[in-house]
Amino acid sequence: MKKWFYIFCLFTFTACVRPIETIPVEVEDVLPDSTATPSSTTVLIYGGPGSWKAEIAALKNILFHQSLSYEVLKPNEINQMMESDYAKYKAIIFAGGDAPTVRQALSLQTRHYIRRAVQTQGLNYLGFCAGAWLAVAPEPAPGQDVVYGLGVIDGPVQELTQLSKMGLKYALDRSIFPDGSQRNLLWYGGPITPNHAGSIVAKYSDGTAAISQIRSGKGLVVISGLHPAATKGILKSLDINDKEASAPDFAWSLLEAVIHDKLLPTFP
pLDDT given for residue 27 in this prediction: 52
pLDDT given for residue 4 in this prediction: 44
Report the alpha-carbon distance of residue 17 to residue 98 in Å, rounded: 7
Average pLDDT, the chain: 91
Q: Using an 8 Å Cβ cutoff, are 118 and 216 in contact? A: yes
Q: Is the dihedral of CA 250, 251, 254, 257 positive or negative?
A: negative
C-alpha closest to that of 229 among 107, 41, 68, 52: 52
At 168-190, the pLDDT tens digits run 999 999 999 999 999 999 999 99
Q: State the Cα–Cα distance between residues 100 and 192, nearest whole angstrom.
A: 18
Whether the CB-CB separation of 174 and 182 falls below 8 Å is answered with yes
The alpha carbon dihedral of 90, 263, 227, 166 has a sign of positive
Question: For the chain, how far is it from start to end, CA to CA, in angstroms?
Answer: 36
At 157 the pLDDT is: 87
How do residues 237-247 score in pLDDT, each as one tens digit? 999 999 899 99
DSSP-derived letter for residue 105 is H
The answer to whether residues 66 and 252 touch, using CB atoms and an 8 Å cutoff, is: yes
Domains of the chain, each with CATH number or no CATH: 2-260 (3.40.50.880)
The model's pTM is: 0.92
pLDDT of residue 36: 86
DSSP helix/strand/coil, 109: helix
Q: Which of 163, 169, 180, 185 is nearest to 242 (CA)?
A: 185
Q: Which residues of the chain have pLDDT under 70?
A: 1-29
- What whole-number distance in Å separates Cα of residue 174 and Cα of residue 97? 22
Rounded CA separation 73/106 (Å): 12
Q: What whole-number distance in Å separates Cα of residue 79 and Cα of residue 114? A: 10
Distance, CA of 69 to CA of 32 (rounded, Å): 11
Q: Residue 15's closest CA among 146, 139, 112, 148?
A: 148
